[in-house]
Amino acid sequence: MTAATETRVVRTRDEVRHAVRDARMAGGTVALVPTMGYLHAGHLSLVDRARELADFVAMSIFVNPLQFAPTEDLARYPRDFDRDLEMARGRGVDLVFAPGVEEMYPGGEPQVSVVPAGTLTERMEGAIRPGHFRGVLTVVAKLFGIFTPDVAVFGQKDFQQAALIRRMALDLDLGVRVEVAPIVREPDGLAMSSRNVYLSPDERERALALSRGLEHGRALFAAGERDADALRAALREALDVPGVEAEYAEAANPLTLEPVAAAEPGTVLLVAARVGRTRLIDNAVLS
């Protein structure tokens, strides 16, 4: 039997719990790949990693309103469920959970949520998008509660998010192994993102400033540059092009996300910029 015929789609938390219980009764371990849909090869690489780590691979597709500020792109966030399902099927996903907002938040706005504090959330995305990580961590904690997965796979693309989720699992003893998979890029270097669809051809070209800056930073490091300010300046310079509005260019400790003075192997370079109306982020770990 091919995987293509087996993908089951469910809309309720109860159906998930039953499906997961059945998978476990059959002796299987369970992996979860949380997404907001509009899938691309980056998401599918997480599915492949999940398949290596567990017997039963589930994907959630849910555009989580709680992680969008009122000024952000919730309403226009791209959605194409039929296409997503086809891609998930093609990659052998066992279960797709695609709940409505009512199903995920039956009580409306949550009165209890996961609010991060400390160095991991103070800077970068946490500073620029107040409340964003509260939304992310709360929905991920809920998904962990619904699926009780053995492992959950996230992308390095959202480095700060992955670091926070890893710490949440540790700090709250959620019993889920958090796995982080590498960034999948377009052939020209642009990090894949559902939001890339917003870019006009002109903006798509300008968007390369992010990955080019990171490449430049990597090359400087490889050539012996250890001064983190010099690396930050190189990132800034790459982002200093017309039509690109830099938000941050950082060199940080990968565990605490605090700025470093001296770069070393493992130091992470992180950038964010607006290209037209589209906000893009990218990062690279130095080696």
60 or 267: CB nearest ligand AMP = 60
Q: Segment contacting ligand AMP (CB under 6 A): 9-17, 192-200, 241-249, 258-266? A: 192-200
**What are the start-end ranges of the E strands in 89-198?**
95-97, 151-155, 177-181
Please report, as residue ranges, which positions from 147 to 176 form the binding site for ligand AMP (by CB under 6 A). 154-155, 157-158
Cβ atoms of 251 and 259 within 8 Å: the answer is yes
Q: How far is CA 32 from the centre of its chain?
A: 13
Count of chain residues binding ligand AMP (CB under 6 A): 17
158 or 250: CB nearest ligand AMP = 158
Please report, for the chain, how many H helices and E strands are present, in that order: 11, 9
Q: Segment contacting ligand AMP (CB under 6 A): 14-22, 124-132, 187-195, 213-221? A: 187-195
End-to-end distance of the chain based on CA atoms, in angstroms?
42
56 or 154: CB nearest ligand AMP = 154
The residue with tokens 């998978």 is 23
Cβ atoms of 137 and 110 within 8 Å: the answer is no
Establish whether 18 is a catalytic residue: no
Q: Is 36 helix (H, G, I), strand (E, B) or coil?
A: coil
155 or 217: CB nearest ligand AMP = 155
Output the CA torsion 187→33→213→221 (10° steps).
Answer: -110
96 or 220: CB nearest ligand AMP = 96
Residue 135 in the binding site for ligand AMP (CB under 6 A): no
Closest distance of CB 11 from ligand AMP, Å: 18
Closest distance of CB 145 from ligand AMP, Å: 18
For 170-230, give the DSSP string: HHTT---EEEEEPPPB-TTSPBP-GGGGG--HHHHHHTHHHHHHHHHHHHHHHTT--BHHH
Catalytic residue among 18, 40, 43, 132: 43
Please report, as residue ranges, which positions from 38 to 97 form the binding site for ligand AMP (by CB under 6 A). 42-43, 45-46
Catalytic residues: 43
Interaction site with ligand AMP (CB under 6 A): 35-36, 42-43, 45-46, 154-155, 157-158, 181, 183-184, 191-194
